[in-house]
């Protein structure tokens, strides 16, 4: 089976397994989504969702976040790891959003990538889930792991993995594809002990078949 056919079959089967799949991060607007996604680096979405209600209650807007001190933000996000760096990114991104974009999170890949702490993964997530603009496929640890195990990609870096995935995944599935892989990665295709015997993709999986 060539990679395009395989990707199509992966999407079909996972849609049946996870019919109501959606982003795990909780947010009410693009700014909250941006902050939550920055926090999710090296951290579970579950942990981020425990931290953000208090953070957004105290600093609900880009303007409020821009005025907060790095120390105030860091204290509220401590349990997400790398909190000093994340706090710095969040404050600086909020400042740029206020000063350069009038308090509105920008809607283009180019502008989003200028924000501190934002790489393509974060930009893709904000565009797709915050604005309904699908320009690419966000590659997080789940997407990287599953795409590699399934043999959909040979690249190792997120940027190159995304380029390969954009060639094999139908454009109409770019939005749902990462959400499906994330759901399956959390439930079945675990990092350390994948539950291969429960997996609906095992006959498609290079790792399982090798």
Q: What is the pLDDT of residues 13-62, one digit of tens each?
A: 999 999 999 999 999 999 999 999 999 999 999 999 999 999 999 999 99
- pLDDT given at position 193: 96
Domain ranges of the chain: 3-22+137-209, 30-131
CATH fold group of domain 3-22+137-209 = Endonuclease Iii, domain 2 (1.10.1670)
Q: Take residue 40 and report the two structure tokens written for it.
A: 């999710």
Q: What is the mean pLDDT of residues 130-147?
A: 98
* Catalytic positions: 121, 140
Task: Identify the pLDDT of residue 73.
Answer: 98
pTM above 0.75, yes or no: yes
Burial class (CB in 10 A: 0-12, 13-18, 19+), 10: buried
- pLDDT digit string, tens, across residues 143-179: 999 999 999 999 999 999 999 999 999 999 999 999 9
Q: Do domains 3-22+137-209 and 30-131 have the same CATH topology?
A: no
Q: Look at residues 179, 142, 148, 164 and name the one whose alpha carbon lies nearest to residue 15.
A: 179
Q: What is the mean pLDDT of the chain?
A: 98
Question: H or E stretch including 75?
Answer: helix 70-77
CATH of domain 30-131: 1.10.340.30
């Amino acid at each position: 089976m060539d990679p395009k056919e395989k990707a199509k079959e992966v999407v079909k089967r996972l849609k049946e397994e996870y019919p109501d799949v959606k982003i795990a991060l909780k947010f009410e607007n693009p700014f909250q989504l941006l902050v939550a996604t920055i926090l999710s680096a090296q951290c579970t979405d579950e942990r981020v969702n425990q931290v953000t209600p208090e953070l957004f209650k105290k600093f609900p807007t880009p303007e409020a976040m821009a005025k907060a001190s790095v120390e105030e933000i860091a204290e509220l996000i401590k349990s997400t790891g790398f909190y000093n760096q994340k706090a710095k990114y969040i404050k600086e991104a909020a400042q740029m959003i206020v000063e350069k974009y009038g308090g509105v999170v920008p809607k283009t890949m180019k502008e989003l990538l200028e924000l501190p702490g934002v790489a393509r993964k974060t930009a893709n997530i904000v565009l797709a889930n915050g604005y309904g603009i699908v320009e690419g496929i966000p590659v997080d640890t789940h997407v990287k792991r599953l795409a590699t195990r399934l043999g959909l990609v040979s690249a190792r870096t997120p940027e190159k993995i995304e380029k390969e995935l954009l060639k094999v995944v139908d454009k109409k599935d770019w939005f749902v594809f990462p959400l499906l892989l994330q759901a399956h990665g959390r439930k079945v295709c675990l990092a350390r002990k994948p539950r291969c015997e429960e997996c609906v993709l095992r006959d498609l999986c290079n790792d399982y078949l090798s």
